[in-house]
Structure 1
């Protein structure tokens, strides 16, 4: 922490000096800030923005925000689960996750209550415009202008009033390469974390992949990369084609590999890109769908390709599916979540089996199901399995997270609205989640967080079996199976007066409780299945796990449950070097050992820190005649000494990845 404070103070001093020269002296050729920031300062100054301006509160009203959210419906729909997952990783860090549209208007945010209150004082909230022309230099607006990921820390913000923020943002592009919006993590500048921008960029890669697969869900999708191990990863190129081989779209990685926006040219076919004909490719892929095909581009470059299913897997559900599936070889593909049934979730754990058996007994009966359990145990996965196991399996499964939708929007999300219901609403209106679930299952996650006013309307729907859209008068009959979930105790909420007692008895037809991960007896099978899911994009490479790590997993209490375990395994797989195939203690995230939750972690923690001693490199100063290699050696040696030989901490201090540091250490030895 002391070292981080020194770095922050040095950065603050550089930025203060740069601001003095730029804003007071009018010097536009200053150092101390990144070129992206300086370009933005210049644009803002030329645009007449006053860096001393007071807070300008301009959030859009409810109607306008609803219209903007409607326009960005696909973006919001695919980003919701990712934002929740990211927020779980940064919870209690004094920050928030923000999604804005292509104009910089904030559509949705999740954050720690204390920081959200401070952010609202500068209008960092849904409905507010954070385009650069309005708010000056800031990560959201500047990322949109520059169309590249960017970090804006403290005084790098153009407006004085925003100097307490540190923001990391990355633009989001739609399946046709057009700017769709921006994802941002904002927090207190004093809590700056060097890895935040990397987390944002990774999340945007996942979001863009989701948008692509959603847009081309009914088309053929080809995944490829110049390196076989990257097929199936977030770095893979994706091409959507029609049944007759017409190119429909490409993701950014495909455009970069193939050159330009060739995929959007009218009349283009797959034959214009590859030497192998479309028909031949389909024939070869059909013989062995799981295999990689070596295909030559028209420019002579070879890529490895796989034909993906036309029914894409839901990214947020697939890992959870794998967690409850029988053990599998790490390179086997995960089963698409659309087909998960209660039988698929049976892994031998007694507590889980009790919930499965109880749920199976009410299949096809008009009995609401209430799923209880801690966050991260797989409540939505259980709900999907319940739906696919019953007679409504061919109907829609519609999910709504009551805690993730702003209170002023949940009414229109749930009940829909009629045309002209409010200013800015779509002329034809919009169908709500309840109507969308007609003939299928409506899943209300975190129902304990539903506002009281909405509870009364939901109760009426369940009683009358009909729904009235916002602004409408005609009732629409609905036939739904209701499944709800919560990590809270509804009885206590009833006693507190925050949940209606009459609604409680309506949704609580049968209650099942899913066990926490620390209580389950099948952790080894969960670990192996998650490993199969996370390492599934490694081609023929098999990834194993050491007995020492597996034993630790069985002892660790897992406060974040399956979601936390999935993240740990994902990080461990990512930290494997190309010649490594076994997860060892050193591949585990360091934060597993940063708490006192479990003394049994000490042995593994000590192993991750068991490095050679690092000799001093001639004092703290660097000779003026030192070569770049000597300077690098000095910096690495100093970082290793300061962190007690902790490679992860040293890598963070140096601003490089742990794998890069390992390679540099290997060259030093």
Structure 2
């Protein structure tokens, strides 16, 4: 959503609230209703919402302590009726006469207190920020409120989280922080309720954002039924997710998800064809702490999943990659920005890290910033920094900002096409003047950086669609490089072998077989090098110390082949040679396409073998599939063709 759309939505929200206030019979001179609940009723309310209060107070707020402490702001948690359950913070910005506004047990419904952050969130169901003069009652115009709803696991409104202050400065940062906090509360409540007995699937479009509060979260039972999900999951998937099977969402078997190694990202593809990265948490697994994006170490280092690779190990003979390496290594010492194009997963971040290590700036910081991973409201404060008191909730010491952290080093702006328009204008000024002015400050600081940007979009198209500034485009695109997708690389075999060596443990001494190498070469690799690394990691984990064969490869590896007819045809014989059939089956009768594709027109020989083995094992699906060296899913398809299941 662009900035103009946000302004229009905000204006419409405030106007609708004022209209409701008029219908309630309120006037601007009306007095706020500040009557507190009787003590017994308030204690009962505390008991009813005890889990919500405890989760917010003890598990979420500490992660933001460095932001909220010593700020002149109040944090309030209200229930679904607008009644304040708990408040924290610093009330120095209010007069003694105004302190009753923030007492526990006071209700902030629009009907009695006019337009205000808590009440308007309850009325609209959406995050909102109410500036001083946007409050309907004049008595409330001493403060600015930023609030966001909290929904429970059933998507019923549970409460509202609010930060109020008297700050005059723009409050987009505060609203972004409150949204993060409310999302953290929702995710934490889901974890606490379901983690002991259910599978939890955390997913996002980018592996770099898996740990963020903006990831989707699915709760799945042992049978693969989705019994709960956070709101972000439905937004990412465009699905109504209640009580449907996980197989209706993703094209990977739930069996494979359940057996995914712990903490190893898994690539999933939705039934609509969208690629997702996911972490599968098994029942009874300890709940990991919510991640505070402000303390994520990858902000001022290269991405943690990127291996350290020297520049001469980026290419193994591919002419296009060789050209990228040669050109970039020459220009990295010049004051010329580099813009890297390429599909997701082609290794842009690995390339940048190797380039930085090769440069004369390698002893200084490489600051990698994923522009898509930072909430739009916080991009400016994260990039440019801010001074003490720049906005409500600002760190008491201020923040230097990521651009200044890259001084004397390299700044890598990944997914630069995702940067909000307002931040683009500020970045352009920084690049032109070679100075950074933190938010809330009049002092500028000189910077000396090498700028590298990356995108998987066509920035020229984004310029034409007014999503990316043309003047900024020419500032960041001094040298344009295109890293080819893995499927087009001529050094694919050597690259596969190199990655295998890097990922294999000392106990895994078996080299990749010629047949498996050939199969990897024929694969379309829609997820590129990132997918290749994931497939090799999974295969090594499944094989343990044994040589890898096709049975160790994940199902989605073969699904990709199935969706690529040319690759499937080329790989069929390779898969057959990798299979280890049951001793009762002669080599001549081996099934060639079993791990790639099952059709409705199976040959009589294959069908006979399948039914014979199924009968031999008395209908035991697991034993039959193992004997035929096919997946259970493939066996089910064959049995369905035969009319058995």
State the TM-score, normalized to the length of structure 2. Answer: 0.52
Classify 1:459/1:596 alpha carbon distance in 2 versus 1 (closer, same or farther; 3 Å).
same
Q: 2:541 aligns with which of 574, 593, 601?
A: 574
Q: How many angstroms apart in 2 are the aligned matches of 1:491 and 1:70?
A: 38
Q: Equivalences for 1:169-318 in 2 at 5 Å?
A: 189-192=243-246, 193-196=254-257, 199=260, 201-203=262-264, 315-318=304-307
Whether 1:602 and 2:572 are equivalent positions in the alignment is: yes
**Does 2:337 align with 1:348?**
no
Matched-pair contact (CA < 8 Å) for 1:398–1:433: yes
> Contact 2:200–2:220 (CA<8 Å) still a contact in 1?
no
Q: Of 451, 455, 471, which aligns to 2:424? A: 455
**C-alpha distance after superposition, 1:268-317 (max 9, x if no partner):** xxxxxxxxxxxxxxxxxxxxxxxxxxxxxxxxxxxxxxxxxxxx997511
Q: Any idea what SS the aligned residue of 1:544 has?
A: coil
- Comparing 562-571 with 498-507, greater Cα deviation is found at 562-571
Q: Secondary structure at the match of 1:443?
A: strand
1:406: how far off?
1.5
Name the residue aligned to 2:397: 428
Quote the offset at 1:609 in angstroms.
7.0
2:336–2:478 Cα contact (<8 Å) kept: yes
CA contact (8 A) 2:200 2:218 kept: no
1:372 to 338, 341, 348: 341
In the other structure, the counterpart of 1:138 is 190
SS in 1 for 2:452: strand
CA 118–509 in structure 1, closer or farther in 2 if over 3 Å, else same: farther
TM-superposed deviation, 1:198: 5.4
Cα distance, 1:166–1:651 mapped onto 2, change above 3 Å: farther
* 2:445 corresponds to which of 476, 497, 520: 476
Q: What secondary structure sits across from 1:575 in the alignment?
A: helix
2:554 is equivalent to residue 589 of structure 1: yes
**Aligned pairs (5 A) from 1:270-669:** 315-318=304-307, 337=308, 340-535=309-504, 537-539=505-507, 541-578=508-545, 580=546, 582-594=547-559, 595-597=562-564, 598-599=567-568, 600-605=570-575, 611-612=581-582, 637-639=620-622, 645=628, 647-649=630-632
Displacement after TM superposition at 1:438 (Å): 0.6
Per-residue CA deviation, residues 204-237 of structure 1 (Å, 9 max, x unaligned), is 99xxxxxxxxxxxxxxxxxxxxxxxxxxxxxxxx
Question: Is the CA contact 1:367–1:510 (under 8 Å) kept in the aligned structure 2?
Answer: yes
How many residues end up aligned between the 2 structures? 391
Q: Cα 1:547–1:493, aligned 2, differ >3 Å: closer, same or farther? A: same
Offset, 1:402? 0.8
Q: 1:415, 1:469 within 8 Å by CA — same for their partners in 2?
A: yes
1:118 Cα offset (Å): 13
8 A Cα contact 2:311 2:354, kept in partner: yes
Relative distance call for 1:154 and 1:507 in structure 2 (3 A) is closer
Residue 390 of structure 1 deviates from its aligned partner by: 2.2
Q: Distance in 2 between matches of 1:442 and 1:589?
A: 36
| Structure of greater Rg | 2
Deviations 1:392-418 (A, max 9, x none): 222111000111222122222111221
SS at match of 1:483: strand
Distance 2:443 2:345 in 1: 39
Q: Distance in 1 between matches of 2:347 and 2:371?
A: 16
Distance in structure 1 (CA, Å) of the matches to 2:632 and 2:230? 21
SS of equivalent residue, structure 1 residue 367: coil
The answer to whether structure 1 residue 67 and structure 2 residue 64 are counterparts is yes
SS at match of 2:413: strand
In 2, Cα distance between the equivalents of 1:69 and 1:607? Answer: 59
Give, in whole Å, the separation in 2 of the partners of 1:519 and 1:491.
23
* Contact 1:468–1:475 under 8 Å retained in 2: yes
Shift of 1:563: 0.9
Pair 1:634–1:49, CA change in 2 (3 A): farther
The corresponding residue for 2:180 is 126
> Residues of 1 paired with 2:417 and 2:188: CA distance?
40
Measure the CA separation in 2 of the matches of 1:568 and 1:412: 38
Deviation sequence 1:46-83 (CA, Å, 0-9, x none): 964699x9xx9x999xx989936969xxxxxxxxxxxx
When residues 450 and 64 of structure 1 are mapped into structure 2, their CA distance, relative to the original with a 3 A threshold, is farther
- The question of whether the paired residues in 1 share the 8 Å contact of 2:386 and 2:399 is answered with yes
The aligned counterpart of 2:100 is none
Relative to structure 1, is the Cα distance of residues 140 and 373 closer, same or farther in structure 2, using a 3 angstrom cutoff? Answer: farther
CA distance in 1, matches of 2:424, 2:325: 28
1:482 is paired with a residue of what secondary structure?
A: strand
Q: 1:314 to 1:407 in 2, by over 3 A?
A: closer
* Inter-CA distance 389–473: structure 2 relative to 1 (3 Å threshold): same
Structure 2 CA distance for partners of 1:483 and 1:204, relative to 1, 3 Å: closer
> How far is the alpha carbon of 1:532 from its aligned partner?
0.9
1:322-379 deviations in whole A, cap 9, x for unaligned?
xxxxxxxxxxxxxxx2xx4433434221111111111122132111111111111111
Separation in structure 1 between the aligned mates of residue 449 and residue 244 of structure 2, nearest angstrom? 49
Long gaps (5+) in structure 2: 1-44, 69-150, 159-178, 202-216, 234-239, 247-253, 267-285, 287-300, 583-608, 637-645
Distance in 2 (CA, whole Å) between partners of 1:589 and 1:491 is: 37
For structure 1, which runs of at least 5 residues remain unmatched after alignment?
Answer: 1-44, 72-116, 157-161, 170-185, 206-251, 253-311, 319-336, 621-632, 654-669
SS of equivalent residue, structure 1 residue 138: helix
Deviations 1:157-195 (A, max 9, x none): xxxxx954399x9xxxxxxxxxxxxxxxx9664242355
**Distance in 1 of aligned mates of 2:555 and 2:187:** 37
What is the alpha-carbon distance in structure 2 between the residues aligned to residue 497 and residue 617 of structure 1?
A: 62
Distance (Å, rounded) in 2 between the aligned partners of 1:435 and 1:570: 37
Taking the aligned partners of 1:147 and 1:70, their CA distance within structure 2 comes to: 35
Q: How far is 1:437 from its partner?
A: 0.2
* 1:422 CA displacement: 2.1
Q: Partners of 2:318 and 2:476 in 1: how far apart?
A: 27
Q: Is the contact made by 1:371 and 1:485 (CA closer than 8 Å) also made in structure 2?
A: yes
Kindly tell me: are residues 439 and 50 of structure 1, through their superposed partners in 2, closer, same or farther at Cα, counting changes over 3 Å? closer
